[in-house]
Amino acid sequence: MFHFANLLFSGPCNARCPDCIGKQIDPRRAPLNLDEYLPRGLDRFLDLIREHNIHELVLTGANTDPLLYQPLARLLDDLRAGLPAGTRLGLHSNGRLALARMDLMRRFDKLCLSVPSFDPVIYRAAMGVEGVPDVGQIMEQSGLPVKLSCLVTEINRVEVPEYLERCHQLGVRRVVLRKRFGERRDWSELLPGCWEDPLEMRFGCPVYSQQGLQVTLWDFERAQIRSLNLFSSGEISAEYLLAGEQAVALAVTYCATPRVEASYI
Ligand code: SF4
């Protein structure tokens, strides 16, 4: 059972985050495809989404931002035509092009923005580029439900309370605080504070309520969530991170054959 599907693009990014997880992806499995139409393997991927009754498809980047994908309008046309009615389309973006591509943004059903800070100096350190996206304007102009994703590192962790306060002021309803891949410290060490009595566990990660804001403490390595992923090479995999010996050994690859074939490679 898959909770959702990811369509991942590859190419140069408009940010230079020092902790970019995309740098850990084997480049042979992530050829550039920001101008390529169709994305390789898309037809088979859509077949699998239908076969597995997956209700949500997220456009995201392996090492880039999906709003940099040039034929996005055409792709959205084809996805809407090729997927069952009611399939939700999500966008996971750094938001740097959100206002410039607002006509396309509005064609999604939900939006997750990766914003590590609202402070320009901290944002610059965490993203490697200047200019905090105007989250308030993006929310207002898109009219979409917006979740914020914040990678917590040494750069921004002391500022997290102010970050959450700013989210509250903007009317954001959901925030996901994420650990760096490989981070071994517990959340209680990383973010000392009041993290007791979660509202609920979501995919194995605790969700807290703070001033009406839902805050999830996400741990990539512990999260119990399964996605079906299409990489720019055309590879379709249940493994998100195609890097490192362990991850590769556990990858379940869906070959481009008429039936789903699970093989441990
Ligand atoms: S925005 Fe995402 S893909 Fe781009 S550099 Fe940062 S982490 Fe990597």
pLDDT, tens digit, for every residue of 220-232?
777 888 999 999 9
**Centroid of ligand 1 to alpha carbon of 258 (angstroms):** 34
pLDDT score at 240:
67
pTM reported for the whole predicted model: 0.90
Q: Name the burial class of residue 95, with classes exposed (0-12), middle (13-18) and buried (19+) by CB atoms within 10 angstroms of its CB.
A: buried
Ligand 1 mean position to 196 CA, how many Å?
Answer: 31
pLDDT of 239 higher than 50: yes
Residue, of 155 and 19, whose pLDDT is higher:
155
Domain membership flag for residue 199: no
pLDDT tier, 252 (very low <50, low <70, confident <90, very high otherwise): very low
Residue 203 lies in a domain: no
Residue 9 domain boundaries: 4-147+221-254
Q: pLDDT for 154-185, tens place per residue?
A: 999 999 999 999 999 999 999 999 998 888 89
Name the residue of 16, 20, 69 to mutate for ligand 1: max ligand atoms within 8 A of Cβ.
20
Would 194 be classed as within a structural domain?
Answer: no
- Residue 256 has a pLDDT of 32
Instruction: Give a yes or no: residue 125 inside a domain.
Output: yes
**Residues written for the chain:** 265
177 within some domain: no
Q: Phi, psi at residue 246, to the nearest 5°?
A: -65, -45
Looking from the CA of residue 64, the nearest atom of ligand 1 is: 3
Report the separation in Å between the CA atom of 197 and the middle of ligand 1, taken as the mean of its atom positions: 32
Pocket lined around ligand 1, Cβ cut-off 6 Å:
13, 15-17, 20, 22, 61, 63-65, 94, 114
What local confidence, expressed as pLDDT, does residue 73 receive? 98
Token pair of 59, please? 């456009």
Q: What percentage of residues in the chain have a pLDDT greater than 70?
A: 90
Q: For the chain, give the mean pLDDT.
A: 88
Please tell me the residue having the least CA distance from ligand 1 atom 8: 20
26 has pLDDT over 90: no
In a domain, 195, yes or no: no
The verdict on residue 118 lying in a domain is yes
- Please report whether residue 40 resides in a domain: yes
Total structural domains in the chain?
A: 1
What's the CATH number where 80 sits?
Answer: 3.20.20.70
Distant-in-sequence, close-in-space partners of 44: CB < 8 Å, separation ≥ 6: 236, 254, 256
